[in-house]
Structure 1
Amino acid sequence: MKKSESAELTTSRRLHPVSVIFFIGKSVKDLLYPMIAFILTTVFRDDINWLWLFGGIAVMMIIMLTIGLLTWYRFVYYLDQGSLRVDHGIFIRKKLWITKDRVQAVDTTAGVLHRIFGLLKLQVETAGGKKPEVVLNAISGREAEQIRIALGLMEVSQPEIISDVPQATPVEKAAPVEQRIRLSFSDLLIYSTTSGKIGVVLAVIGAAYSQLDEWLAETLDIWGFISYWMGSAQIVWLIVFLIVIAWLLAVLFTSIREYGFTLQLKGDKLVIERGLLERKQVTVPLQRIQAVHLVENVFRRPFGLVTVHIVSAGYAGKEGESAILFPLVRERELAAFLARFTPQYQLADEWSRLGKRSLLSFMLVPVILTLAISIPAIIWIPYSLGWFALLLPLLAVLWSWLRYRQTGWSLLQQQIAIQYGSFNRHRILVPKRRIQWNRLSQSVFQVRKELATLNIALTSGALPALFYIKHLPFNIGMELKTWMIGKKVNPPQQSK
């Protein structure tokens, strides 16, 4: 890259003017509930004051437009000695410096509006943050490249040297194999249909209905209308229909979000691209990855389909959970996949398992709680329907037994692997040097049986990512803890 190009961001710059739209959108989001409350309280009065209604809306629009323009005008950024500096704020001026040693990941996103103007949205993630430390809503692709280079997430391309002096014939080298994989359309459909996101959609529908419930009750008796036209028995079919619609919406949203999912290894960095309407690119340095998290949900596990996640301080979701590295990998191809893209992490061939004395500890609390619910249900629910409550303890026994069967661990050189789950299966591959802290604890019930719970914490976002092995023998827990602090011990054996 030429010096003139690299020096462009050393002086203060403002975002592209189109970013005013995004700042206005943020203002609309912040004032959404007051605006809705104002409109509803005005419209549903007995005597509507139209001047008050349209005047209030006009004032709010002027306020939001003014805030958007001032926010854009007061927002400046530039590069200063390998760090990114951002100054922003209308009334309270905030100054922020981001140095390359703090950066965990840099994301770029191109939405529909960005594509029209040839722009990108850039987000800088740092360790310990709940949200991106810096968000540049609208910058050019060249500026994004300069910021990536300055923050150490992209190599500077060397210009080709042209000379008239004859050069010696170079020794031919084998071209490096490009480590790149793209999610096929068939795998995208499989991933979307088995994602289990229907619960999220139903939660959104339920939240929206709860917000409008009081207004709907006053204006329209929906369930009374449905019962009158369809009959009470048909309400069940309506609920089934709504569940199917929610599932189809979940499939649609997941497909749009993960469309064209591409993973590429460039040097020591992973580049992830995905999205149909909003194309997102994330760069994650390999050395920032704390662990690999393999997830098989109840729908994919019978077919040997695994979703590969990573735990990273910069590329993670809320509350420290792991983020997707690749949506769908077949179990038989998993070892080769990890060798290509995360060579420091290896699958465990053998697992140490819990002994039989741990089984009762898994079942004790869930079975007692479900029995406490089932007994009153049998007594108080009429028409003998309460006996169906006995299914709860049976499900608790099944769930506890699956958790017992899933729990395991394995030591491989400088890596510990942990397995847990019930209907879903989770496998965590953690290098010893990535463990931030570990704790061996015992509850009152565990002390009597000489059992313990081993907790492991990794750096991930604002909160640490926590993984655990429950109800393992105390002596084995001590051996694993000793191994984690660096002392040489014999690998813990399977408990009895």
Structure 2
Amino acid sequence: MSAPAPPAPPGEWQRLDPRMLLVHPVREVVRFLPPLVGLFLAGAASGGQPWQFLGIVVPVVLGLFRYLTTSFRIAAGRVELKRGLLSRHVLSTPLDRVRTVDLTASPIHRVLGLTTLRIGTGTGASGDDDDLDLDGLPVARAQELRADLLRTARAEVVAGPDGVPDDPDAPPAPERPVVELDLAWLRYAPLTTSGLVVTAGILGLGGQVLGNVDLWDEVDPTSWHVGLPGWTAVLLGLVVLAVLVVAVSVVGYLVTNWGFALTRSRGSWHLRRGLVTTRETSLDEERVAGVTVGEPLGLRLAGGGRLTAIVTGLGSASGSSTLVPPAPLAVVQRVGGAVLASTAPVTVALTGHGPAATRRRYTRAVGTAVVLAAAVASVPLLLGAPWWAVAPVLVLPLAALPLAADRARGLGHALSDGHVVARSGTLARRRDHLEVDHVIGWNLRATWFQRRVGLTSLVATTAGGPQSVTVLDVPEPLAVALADATLPHVVRQFLAPASQDPPPEGVGEGRGTARLPG
């Protein structure tokens, strides 16, 4: 195949690579596959009519039009994408809103030497029609465009020490690997819920397929004689299910994270991973507001965790924010320290929230378990079942005790080296590290139950990730003092005169106990 045409001059509309003419028709045929199958079955039932083959022409023509009607340009400080024939759709965003740039290559893209460049702008768009994707660029061109987008966006908002913007034409520093995939991390793959969810989906789909082909109608369960007691067969089935979940988890981990590497170059973090479909993500360093260490119960018991970035304008559900997949906690903390440019926030001891918050953890966990146990036990008792039949349900309140204790131990916060640190949860524990400069406001929220014991939930408003970081059930004096320590020019105007009491432990020195008026 001939070499791709050189890029158009800056500011002019450009087409995607012509090799996408081999991709778009195939995609459209796959999208139309169900009606095409029905059309072929109808044609076969009619004796093989020629018109059944005309159905393929429609998606192929749509694929050709998709290429011919798609173009993009970068001009006047904006990225613009134009597509559509009858309904023209133009997407446009300023360069200074570029948060992330992803390069994703499916198997067919990799064979053709192409990739998809996806621009993350934080606009909150959720549909495919609103995604700013340049689907079908040569790899070298996409890498060059990615560097230009990030460099231009950074030049719009970043100034050097003398107040002069960084030189966008300066050569980037060589990438430094921060962390790479270690196959020993595979031991953490079965400890997440992804393998169980995928396995359940596979079994559910398999059951539907077998039901649709009427295979179960020809199976006689009374003819099954395996020579094993019932409980042994159940245990064997559980073992087979566990092996299947482990296998699916490990395979999924490898497919998703093969070749994983996190590197850092001038002003950007670059993440590369993927076996079948490769993905390269670039995060503008100035947009990274902090990191979150996730420790689901299974990973935490095995000494593991995962790391995601809090990126301004990018939702927490976006896969672009993942920095480290399930890995040893020491690796996660080391990378977190590198991203924050300080290890203090990820290792600092947290300030507890006192006995009132601890009692609240026990009340909520045990109280919920008691109500659930009563609801479950009442039905068989009302139907005349003996009391011993519901005795196992009474274990629920006892099982809630260690859960409440773990939730109480995990609750805490700190202000360390310019970062607000907040930790909470047990089954899905998370520890957020948010840079103070990215806190744009504080909210104190308290229910009636919290107010009567002097607790509140302190919510830091930010433009990054889920748009907020919450410090749960913190005593009111600590909450107000923490808000005052981070945003004194905003908070202090609402405070009563500071008392002469010493500052609350864990907030900082040189500040009195702040109180809200009234």
Q: TM-score normalised to the size of structure 2? A: 0.77
Quote the residue 1:170 is aligned against.
none
Aligned with residue 134 of structure 1, among 132, 135, 147: 132
Answer yes or no: is the 8 Å Cα contact 1:311–1:321 preserved in 2. no
Residue of structure 1 in register with 2:340 after alignment: 342
Please tell me whether the aligned partners of residues 151 and 168 of structure 2 are also in contact (alpha carbons under 8 angstroms): no
Deviation string 1:377-414 (CA, Å, 9 cap, x unpaired) is 33544573422112322233322221111010001243
Q: Which residue of 2 aligns with 1:173?
A: none
Cα deviation code 1:187-206 (max 9, x no counterpart): 34234343442232134236
Q: 1:224 to 1:290 in 2, by over 3 A?
A: farther
**CA 1:398–1:88 in 2, change beyond 3 Å: closer, same or farther?**
same
Corresponding residue of 2:482: 480
Q: Who is 2:300 aligned against?
A: 301
Give the SS at the match of 1:72: helix
Quick one: distance in 1 between partners of 2:261 and 2:149?
Answer: 23
Matches within 5 A, 1:41-440: 50-51=45-46, 58=53, 60-131=55-126, 133-153=131-151, 179-205=176-202, 208=205, 215=212, 220-221=216-217, 225=221, 228=224, 230=226, 234=233, 237-313=236-312, 318=317, 323-327=321-325, 330-332=328-330, 336-343=334-341, 346-347=344-345, 348-381=347-380, 382=385, 384-440=388-444
Identify the residue that residue 17 of structure 2 maps to in structure 1.
16
What's the % identity of the aligned pairs? 19
Tell me, in whole angstroms, the C-alpha distance in 1 between the residues paired with 2:52 and 2:458. Answer: 57
Find the partner of 1:471 among 470, 473, 488: 473
Residue 137 (structure 1) shift:
1.9
Gap change, CA 1:24 and 1:401, over 3 Å in 2: farther
Residue 83 of structure 1 and its aligned partner are, at CA, apart by: 3.0
- 1:436–1:457 Cα contact (<8 Å) kept: yes
Q: Is the 8 A contact 1:182 1:262 kept in 2?
A: yes
Q: Gapped runs of 5+ residues in structure 1?
A: 160-175
Q: Secondary structure, in 3 states, of the residue corresponding to 1:352?
A: coil
| Cα distance, 1:103 vs structure 2 | 0.6
User: Residue 253 of structure 2: SS of its match in structure 1?
Assistant: helix
CA deviation after TM superposition for structure 1 residue 260, in Å: 1.3
**Per-residue CA shift, 1:434-488, capped at 9, x if unaligned?**
1244321111211221222222343346xx3443222222232222233343357
Change over 3 Å in CA distance of 1:306–1:369 after alignment to 2: closer
Using the TM superposition, name which of 237-246 and 221-230 deviates more.
221-230
Cα distance in 2 between the residues matched to 1:52 and 1:290: 65
1:126–1:133 Cα contact (<8 Å) kept: no
CA deviations on 1:273-325 (whole Å, 9 max, x unpaired) are 1112222111111111122111233344345433221111466553x688321
Maintained 8 Å contact 1:316/1:322 = no
Shift of 1:428: 1.0
Q: CA, structure 1 residues 177+108, in 2 after alignment: closer, same or farther (shift >3 Å)?
A: closer
Matched residue type, 1:194 = L
Give distance in 2, aligned partners of 1:62 and 1:437: 57
Q: Secondary structure of 2:420's partner? A: strand
CA–CA separation in structure 1 for the residues paired with 2:464 and 2:320: 8
Instruction: Quote the Cα distance in structure 2 between the aligned partners of 1:344 and 1:432.
Output: 14
**Separation in 2 of the partners of 1:300 and 1:404?**
19
What is the deviation of 1:374?
A: 1.6
Gaps of 5+ in 2: 153-166, 493-497, 508-518
- Whether the 8 Å contact between 2:82 and 2:90 is mirrored in structure 1 is yes
Shift of 1:101: 0.4
Alignment partners' CA distance in 2, 1:255 and 1:105: 24
Tell me, yes or no, if the aligned pair for 1:308 and 1:325 is still in contact at 8 Å: yes
Q: After TM superposition, give the deviation of residue 60 of structure 1 in Å.
A: 4.5
Matched-pair contact (CA < 8 Å) for 1:227–1:235: no
Q: CA RMSD in A?
A: 3.8
Greater mean alpha carbon deviation, residues 381-390 or residues 228-237: 228-237
Higher mean displacement: 383-392 or 259-268: 383-392
Instruction: Select between 486-495 and 66-75 the one with higher mean Cα deviation.
Output: 486-495
- Between 1:374-383 and 1:418-427, the stretch displaced more is 374-383
Measure the CA separation in 1 of the matches of 2:468 and 2:30: 33
